[in-house]
């Protein structure tokens, strides 16, 4: 997935009210742009860090741009636009890059399922039956380790999705938790038990009843981002 139009580089001044970020462009222009990330963005940013953003040419839009990439305190690049994850995964599925999920005959998005009124990010149809896929975008990294972690804040919604997947798995339906790791310099991903122990417990319980857990990393530059390789999952 290439960024089009091309991203602009700037420096982060501050992020606030979750969805707003003030940046200064290389020409000295100060802008307030949209931050499309509902998480804490822990270890994804620091005041003065380099950022890349897309600028909108829609005159009716309230904010002129969208924050796409941040340079983390560890010197990595993180795609902080969580809305990109599903599109990246779909692109990789269609290209056969995620080999464990290859061979499907149909792909459907945002499919309702479960006892708690959830919507699976993808339903893939195979001759043997469907597979339900939940996608999570991972951007949390730490100093001195190539292991990313999820979540970066307590996520009741994430635990709910794991419970729903576990119900499917118990019924013999293929259920997959897929981590799209949008962070460079990473070889593995783990549950962030120190941040959300309930989520970590729900993940292990889901695996115990047959939920598959996959993690794929991306190749990320200010020009493009694409899913490219399988990562280890450390439970």
Residue 34 belongs to domain with CATH number: 2.40.50.580
Report the candidate in 118, 108, 102 with the shortest Cα–Cα distance to residue 167.
Answer: 118
Report the candidate in 47, 15, 50, 48 with the shortest Cα–Cα distance to residue 33.
Answer: 15
Do 69 and 101 lie in one domain? The reply is: no
Do 121 and 173 lie in one domain? The reply is: yes
Region of residue 159 (phi > 0: left; psi between -120 and 50: alpha; otherwise: beta): alpha
State which of 51, 75, 99 marks the end of a domain.
Answer: 75
SS3 46: coil
The number of C-alpha atoms within 13 Å of 152 and in the hemisphere containing its C-beta is 20
Region of residue 110 (phi > 0: left; psi between -120 and 50: alpha; otherwise: beta): left
Range of the domain at 31: 8-75
Q: Is residue 124 part of a domain?
A: yes
Do 47 and 143 lie in one domain? The reply is: no
Do 54 and 134 lie in one domain? The reply is: no
- Complete edge-to-edge strand list for the sheet that includes strand 174-181: 106-113, 118-126, 129-138, 174-181, 212-220, 225-233, 188-191, 147-150
**Domain count across the chain:** 2
Total-model pTM = 0.96
Q: Along the 235 residues of the chain, how does pLDDT read in single tens digits?
A: 999 989 999 999 999 999 999 999 999 999 999 999 989 999 999 999 999 999 988 888 899 999 999 999 999 999 999 999 999 999 999 999 999 999 999 999 999 999 899 999 999 999 999 999 999 999 999 998 999 999 999 999 999 999 999 999 999 999 999 999 999 999 999 999 999 999 999 999 999 999 999 999 999 999 999 999 999 999 9
Cα separation, 82 vs 73, whole angstroms: 19
């Amino acid at each position: 997935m290439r960024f089009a139009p091309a991203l602009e580089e700037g420096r982060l001044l501050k992020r606030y009210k979750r969805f707003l970020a003030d940046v200064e462009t290389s020409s000295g222009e100060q802008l307030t742009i949209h931050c499309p990330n509902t998480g804490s963005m822990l270890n994804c940013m620091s005041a003065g860090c380099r950022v890349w953003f897309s600028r909108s040419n829609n005159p009716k839009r309230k904010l002129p741009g969208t924050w796409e990439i941040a340079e983390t305190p560890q010197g990595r690049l993180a795609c902080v636009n969580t809305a990109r994850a599903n599109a990246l995964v779909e692109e990789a599925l269609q290209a056969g890059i995620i080999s464990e999920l290859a061979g499907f005959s149909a792909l459907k998005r945002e499919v309702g399922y479960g006892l708690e009124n959830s919507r699976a990010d993808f339903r893939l149809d195979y001759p043997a039956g469907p597979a339900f896929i939940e996608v999570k975008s991972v951007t949390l990294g730490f100093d001195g380790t190539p292991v990313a972690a999820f979540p970066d804040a307590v996520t009741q919604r994430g635990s709910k999705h794991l419970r729903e997947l576990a119900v499917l798995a118990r019924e013999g339906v293929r259920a997959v938790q897929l981590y799209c790791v949008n962070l460079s310099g990473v070889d593995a991903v783990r549950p962030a038990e120190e941040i959300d122990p309930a989520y970590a417990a729900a993940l292990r319980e889901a695996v115990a009843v047959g939920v598959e857990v996959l993690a794929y990393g991306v190749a990320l530059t200010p020009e493009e981002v694409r899913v490219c390789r399988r990562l280890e999952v450390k439970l």
